[in-house]
Amino acid sequence: MTAKPLLLIDVDGPLNPFAARPHRRPAGYTTHRTRPSGWDLPWQKPLRVWLNPAHGPLLLALPFELVWATTWGVQANRWIAPHLGLPELPAVDWPELHARRDDGTYFKTHDIVRYAAGRPFAWIDDEIRLPDREYVATHHRGPSLLLRVEPSLGLLPADFDQLAAWARELAAGEPGSAGRT
* Cβ neighbourhood burial of 160 (10 Å; 0-12, 13-18, 19+): middle
The whole-number average pLDDT for the span 156-173 is: 95
What is the C-alpha to C-alpha distance for residues 7 and 66, in angstroms, rounded to an integer?
5
Lowest mean pLDDT segment, chosen from 42-46, 103-107, 137-141, 167-171? 42-46
How many other C-beta atoms are found inside a 10 Å radius of the C-beta of residue 40? 9
Q: What is the pLDDT of residue 1?
A: 44
The CA distances from residue 156 to 15, 98, 149, 163, in Å, are 10, 27, 8, 11
Bridge partners (DSSP) of residue 67 are 8
CATH architecture of the domain covering 6-178: 3-Layer(aba) Sandwich (3.40)
34 pLDDT band, cuts 50/70/90, is confident
Q: What is the pLDDT of residue 177?
A: 46
Domain boundaries, the chain: 6-178
Lowest mean pLDDT segment, chosen from 21-35, 55-69, 120-134? 21-35
